[in-house]
Amino acid sequence: MCVYVTSCEEQTEALAALLAEGSKPGDVLLLEGGLGAGKTAFVRGLARGLGADASEVSSPTFALLHIYPGRLTLCHFDLYRLGPGEAEELGFEEYFFGTGVCAVEWPDRAASLLSGARTRTVRLEGSGEDTRTIKLEGFDALPEPGRLLALGIRRAQ
């Protein structure tokens, strides 16, 4: 696991944009964190890094899914409002094993669908108004330390 600390929303987005550069078709990012932890900001950065219009990104809580075309299509799920078994009924597995990149907020709501998918976990924790601790698991490649330092993003001890 690799842990980074960002001190503002822009840095959270920048870290995600750098991670998106190494994304491949079929990647599924499991975004974990409480309400207001920065998950949607992270998705804005992913969108930018994938060549999608980051200004279009919003929390899809009521729509469940937003799709953003780019170098790779970004499918942004917010499963917060789903109950047990509802994700299976909606047919989301076609996205989880598709040709784009998926970012899934509240992934525990679709755990059975995600088994077998190529997942990476992103845990976002707030420790103040803007400071975020971001824990990454399962990533094949991480951004170069020099690029992170230039953005003011530091690796946690």
- What mean pLDDT value characterizes the chain? 89
- Residues with Cβ within 8 Å of 81's Cβ and at least 6 positions away in sequence, in order, are 61, 62, 64
pLDDT in tens, 28-54: 999 999 888 889 899 999 999 999 999
- Examine the pLDDT at 135 and tell me if it is beyond 90: yes
- Residues with Cβ within 8 Å of 155's Cβ and at least 6 positions away in sequence, in order, are 2, 3, 4, 5, 145, 148
Q: How far apart are CA 138 and CA 7, in angstroms?
A: 24
- Examine the pLDDT at 59 and tell me if it is beyond 80: no
What's the chain's length in residues?
157
pLDDT for residue 128: 60
- Examine the pLDDT at 60 and tell me if it is beyond 70: no
- Examine the pLDDT at 84 and tell me if it is beyond 80: no
The domains found in the chain, sorted by start residue, are 2-155 (3.40.50.300)
Closest CA to 103 of 40, 35, 29, 42: 29
pLDDT in tens, 94-115: 888 888 999 999 999 888 888 8
- Examine the pLDDT at 136 and tell me if it is beyond 90: yes
Task: Please state, in angstroms and as integers, the Cα–Cα distance from residue 17 to each residue in 27, 85, 89, 107, 111, following that order.
Answer: 15, 32, 32, 21, 26
